[in-house]
Amino acid sequence: MKIFKISNKKGFTIVETLIVLAIAALILMIVLIAVPDLQRSAQNSNIRTDAQNIASAIQTFEGNNQGLLPSSVKNNNGTIKVTSSSSSSSGSTIPATGHMQASTLIAAPTTGPQQETYSGGNDTTIYVELNAECPSSSTGGQINPTPNQRGVAIIYPINAGGGNYGAGCIQD
């Protein structure tokens, strides 16, 4: 009479374990590659939203003050404050406000178009240029607004990845 041994193995074979580890490593690699792109995309979106909020606050200021351009645009801990040292034809000016991220910097407004260059790093500065309008295109991280007596150009950085920056512009 033959006695058969019934094997009652518990656990995984080494091949099964290696396959699971390889799949886990592949998933981890995909996630690690995608995260920086997602962070860069979110940062670009946030800065563009801040630039749009600045444009909206400036438009409100102009509407409240018979078209007077502002002389000051500041980020006060997440609140945009648009004011002017000049007075409108009806007397004192009415300031305008808006909301943005507290970490975004707003450069002091300049009168007339200025060439702005974004060269990298974590530059989140937004430039407000009075008496200027957005150009039809920009080259790399440089943007050259053109003159416009009643225009306001709001210039913001676009992180293209790999240390490369571009510039976007919103026209008020």
Collect all residues with Cβ–Cβ distance below 8 Å to 111 and sequence separation of at least 6. 130, 131
pLDDT at 111 exceeding the cut of 70: yes
Q: Decide which of 87 and 13 is more confident.
A: 13
Looking at 9-18, 51-60, 87-96, 123-132, which range is the least confident one? 87-96
Show the tokens assigned to 75. 């980020």
pLDDT of residue 162: 78
**Contact present, 128 and 107 (Cβ < 8 Å):** yes
Using alpha carbons only, give the angle 74, 76, 78 rounded to the nearest 5 degrees.
110
3-state class of 88 per DSSP?
strand
Using alpha carbons only, give the angle 61, 64, 69 rounded to the nearest 5 degrees.
45
For residue 66, the 8-state DSSP code is T
CA distance 73 to 58: 8
Using alpha carbons only, give the angle 73, 119, 122 rounded to the nearest 5 degrees.
65
- Percent helix, strand, coil in the chain (nearest 5)? 30, 35, 35
pLDDT of residue 136: 77
CA distance 15 to 26: 17
